[in-house]
Amino acid sequence: MADRERVIAEVRATFGDRIGEVEDRLTSHAESANVDDLERPSIDDAPDHEVPNRAVVPGIDDASADELEGLVNDGTIGLRKIREGREAEISPREQVGLEAIVVLTGRPPLFIQNGDFLKVPDDWAVLKSHREEIKSSIRRVGRIEVDGHPEYTWIGTGFLAGPDAIVTNRHVAREFARLDGQSWRFQSGMSARLDFNEEYGALDPLEFKITGIVGIHERFDLAVLRVAPTSGTNTLPDPVRVAAARPGTVIGREIYVIGYPAWDSRRNDPTYMRQIFQNIFDVKRLQPGKVRTWNDGDPKFVHDASTLGGNSGSPVFDLATHEVIGLHFGGKYLEGNNAVPLWLLTDDELLETAGINFVQPTHA
């Protein structure tokens, strides 16, 4: 759990002058017994999709839903105290509730099923008007899985950024790669593949073989892998569009991350993770947020999407253009998440060799 002052600052940064509005909305939800709408999966404005069945998907149960509902109620009291200038009276329980509200309404980690994201809170209703573009982005992001590793069966996220090129983090690729002279190869006895599915409740994989390692960057936490269909029935989609120039004003820009948040107790509070992520990890999520800080020419920018360890290698999409502007590579809850600004690497030799699909931004 973060310290109280930091949580209060995060509430103010997330909601600004809308704290009273958020408090009223959550109070109304509670009075109408709809608080669980904030966290229980359901499809919003997508009638062709089936709502996931909690009875067959482990992790969501009435007890954990009731616990989260209680936290939201406590956090609502905390919002009232902030609005009334009584921050010193916020209890530890209300502080945890405030953390829950910041994530659930301010930057929610949304479930994905059948290639579509599930119900969003009111603060991110804008996502619904971008549904088709986001679904297109979802199809191009996968989970990197390994065979022969002594500890892991999967190790991070990757996205299709060239006709047959997957971009991920250096620290992900190093789990199965070794340098042989001037070339990177698989470690002995290991192989890897990319699964574009691994969604909430999914039963069938959509796998592609990782056939080689184009390279691992010396400066940035970035690597590029080659990928190919595992059979004649699967074909790779077109790659994402990667912004070749700074996307207008960077700070405050609405973004979204797609990836596979995993249990990450080394950097994040275990209680927070279980409650906010409903004890369900390792599945594909849509994680909206905003860019918090970036200085011109800086080799990283900071965003506030609700990411965890398995998001290593996730693309950071510009919500306005649905172009990839960054490569997520780590962070810590309420302290910020880091991403490589890919528009600085248009002339990078590794990315040129890989054939990354750089495009000029479509919006200022």
The 3-class secondary structure across the chain, one letter per residue, is: CCCHHHHHHHHHHHHHHHHHHHHHHHHHHHHCCCHHHHCCCCCCCCCCCCCCCCCCCCCCCHHHHHHHHHHHHHHHHHHHHHHCCCHHHCCHHHHHHHHHHHHHHHCCCEEEECCEECCCCHHHHHHHHHHHHHHHHHCCEEEEEEECCCCCCEEEEEEEEECCEEEECHHHHCCCEEEECCEEEECCCCEEEEECCCCCCCCCCCEEEEEEEEEECCCCCCEEEEEEECCCCCCCCCCCCEECCCCCCCCCCEEEEEECCCCCCCCCCHHHHHHHCCCCCCCCEEEEEEEEECCCCCCCEEECCCCCHHHCCCEEEECCCCCEEEEEEEEECCCEEEEEEHHHHCCCHHHHHHCCCEECCCCC
pLDDT band at 9 (very low <50, low <70, confident <90, very high): very high
Lowest-confidence range among 44-53, 88-97, 134-143, 347-356? 44-53
Share of the chain above pLDDT 70, in %: 84
pLDDT of residue 230: 75
State mean pLDDT over 82-108: 92
State mean pLDDT over 120-143: 96
Q: Name the segment(s) of the chain with CATH classification 2.40.10.10.
A: 141-229, 242-359
Residue 357 has pLDDT above 50, yes or no: yes
pLDDT of residue 55: 33
Share of the chain above pLDDT 90, in %: 67
pLDDT of residue 32: 63
- State pLDDT tens for residues 218-257: 999 999 999 998 766 678 999 999 999 999 999 999 999 9
pLDDT band at 141 (very low <50, low <70, confident <90, very high): very high
pLDDT band at 45 (very low <50, low <70, confident <90, very high): very low
- State pLDDT tens for residues 112-125: 999 999 888 889 99
pLDDT of residue 309: 85
- Fold annotation for 141-229: Thrombin, subunit H (2.40.10)
pLDDT of residue 48: 35
Look up the pTM and report it: 0.88
Q: 242-359: which CATH number, 2.60.40.420, 3.40.50.300, 2.40.50.100, 2.40.10.10? A: 2.40.10.10
